[in-house]
Amino acid sequence: MRDKSLQDRNLPDQERAAMPSVTEVEPQRNLFDRNPHLDTSKARPLAPIGVFDSGAGGLTILSTLRQELPQEDYIYFGDTVHCPYGKRTEADITALTVDACRLLVEQGVKLIVIACNTASQAALQTVRATFSLPIVGVVPAVKPAARMTKNGRIGIAATDQAARSVYLQQLIADFASDIQAYAAGCSELVTLVERGDLAGPAVELTLRMVLAPLTDHDIDVLVLGCTHFPAMRSAIEHVVGEHVQVIDSAAAIARRTRNILLTESALHPSQGQNQQGGLQVWCSGNAEHFSAVASAILGYPVAASQKMQ
């Protein structure tokens, strides 16, 4: 079995909590209808966690967050109208990310997870300077990949924008300078996930073509540098073969979120009890289609609502 331990740049390992089974989406709670003018300078234990992505990819982060912090309430927003972000300019991505975070802040969230590698790389500093609440970004798992490789060659699958970013090149320089690291833009995979195409012969054919610039270098670790890609992990693992370890940063982000809430004394008071928190899923585009895609990724029924920024 492949090692699927997930880390980010500077976080200690920690056991992941088991995910309680969820058979249906809970009714919407009044706690989500919050005064947009509430003070966000101090995280509040009963407030929800906001999770944002350009579309459906951040649902892979949401799934891991609900395993690590099952008692928390969540609001998820996928900006499907403007997806994919990976083909947009950095200025566009930053503006869209600020707007999305403002939408979540207006709902009174206590912390925001930007569950999008492209948005994190382009806009995290701006968003943190704009809002006072804790904001967690996503970092491609370059550091753990460099530690895992046996043959000194790793591949990083990302969106087009993220693959050529200065940020990713700096990560490689910081943590993988003594090995060969190859990055490739794979934005076609974002489109597949947004359509709900997660497996099957046609998907695997696309994967073979898109990942060829990485697999042709005989890599033995593949970093999924876009949160959309873990939604098709099984197909990716089948395509790259058992000799390639496939990793992402979802568990590290969940641990980081827990650590911040613990430091802020903002964990939900029911932590440790057998209770599943509430979930609202929003998107800026077609809610019916997004509901189907979200249900497929999360593994339980989701009824998304359209919410414009």
Cite the active site residues.
Answer: 116, 226
Half-sphere exposure of 178 (CA within 13 A, CB side): 6
Q: Position of tokens 């012969």?
A: 201
Is the alpha carbon torsion for 248, 252, 258, 261 positive or negative? negative
Phi, psi (5° rounding) for residue 129?
Answer: -80, -20
- Cα separation, 107 vs 38, whole angstroms: 9
Q: Please list, in sequence order, all residues whose beta carbon lies within 8 angstroms of the beta carbon of residue 127, skipping any fewer than 6 positions away.
A: 97, 98, 101, 112, 114, 135
Q: What are phi and psi of 99, to 5 degrees?
A: -60, -45
Q: At what angle do helices 201-215 and 233-240 cross, to 10 degrees?
A: 60
d(CA 278, CA 75): 9
Closest by CA to 299, choosing from 52, 50, 69, 63, is: 63
